[in-house]
Amino acid sequence: MRAASVADWRELARRRLPHIFFEYIDGGSYAEETLRRNVADLEAIALRQRVMRDMSTLDLSVTTLGQTLAMPVGLAPVGMAGMYARRGEAQAARAAAAAGVPFALSTVGVCSIEEVAATGAPPWFQLYMLKDRGFMRDLLARAQEAGSPVLLFTVDLPTPGSRYRDVRSGFTGSGPLEAALAQLRDGVTHPAWTWDVFVNGRPHTLGNVEAAVTQKGRVTDFLSWIARNFDKSVTWKDIEFVRDVWKGPIVMKGVLDADDARDAVNAGADGVIVSNHGGRQLDGVASAISALPRIADAVGGDIEVFMDGGVRSGLDVLKALALGARACFVGRPWAWALGGGGEAGVARMLATLRSELTVAMILTGCANARDAGRELLDLTHSPLR
């Protein structure tokens, strides 16, 4: 199958990846109500078609945090992408750089910040608040030394959400022998992945935290270390520590409430990402797109507002821009494209988003992405009216 859409990349990833890794990418927390809501609420918003306007000149670029993006899209941090394709974070970073958009590296990426920066495009860097502040200080110093221009500070993960799919697949909650047998079975039934990733994609560690983890039998040992070190006592006051160490822009990722967005402004954040962690944390909460307008209205004049969650097309990107986002970050779409087609897959997925956004802008009469506003939407046919 030749992929024509994000949904096609999901299917290709499902075919190529071992079951445990596809389910890890694809799943959400608990009954996955929020995961479904993220997508459904975006689909339910109607664009307002306009005609007979001179659309011969389009500008998809946006400027944010001192950078100009070729289109208002970025690759969100995705954990363990190096298990979806050989040295996957580096491959995705190269595709993003070629498309002129930012790549955000997860703390729990297989590739380290140094390896990704060596591609020639230092990534935006994502970090959690961890109990070991000394480790955090060292990791932030590494990111700055590597030239990372922006810190994405994840604030919606003081503890991991319960993801039933990971238990059912055997990714979590299984013993070493059971996990080894499941991995062997997956490897035999997915030979292309086995050759690309299992054989040639080593080391299978999390490069940013490897030095701090003593037990390193499986990649899940690293995730367990991270989970044990999430700091449940964190408050906005702790951002002072991050600001003391990190001298560049800080964007708070995982804000879903307007009051929290105002607190982010007061804490000195340069931006927020309106997000529910892709439906992977607290199930049953609002979709990202439904929370976006309230947050944009509350703080959009003070800091940059981004969004992630449920974006599956360039049309979705335009809807988010119209509701107040400066740009959208996509997670699953690039992970699926990486799993289904490597660097070339990510490049093609980004080209598809750009093409879809171009068509949507022309047919709504929006010549400049920076000017997108609510006049592009038909709110009489919208759950947001």
Cβ pair 74, 104 in contact under 8 A: yes
Q: How far apart are CA 305 and CA 86, in angstroms?
A: 33
Q: How far apart are the first and last CA of the chain?
A: 39
Distance CA 253, CA 156 (A): 7
Catalytic residue among 190, 204, 277, 381: 277
- Tell me the residue type at 71: M
DSSP letter for 161, please.
P
**Residue 383 structure tokens:** 């759950």
- Give the integer Cα–Cα distance in Å for 20 and 171: 6
Which sign does the torsion angle of CA 189, 193, 199, 203 carry? Answer: negative
Q: For residue 277, indicate whether it is catalytic.
A: yes
DSSP, res 268: T
- If DSSP codes are grouped into helix, strand and coil, which group holds residue 309? coil
C-beta atoms surrounding 187 within 10 Å: 16
* DSSP-derived secondary structure for 171-221: SSS--HHHHHHHHHHHHHH-HHHIIIIIITS---S-TTTGGG-S--SSHHH
- Number of CB atoms found within 10 A of residue 36's CB: 15
Q: Which residues are designated catalytic?
A: 277
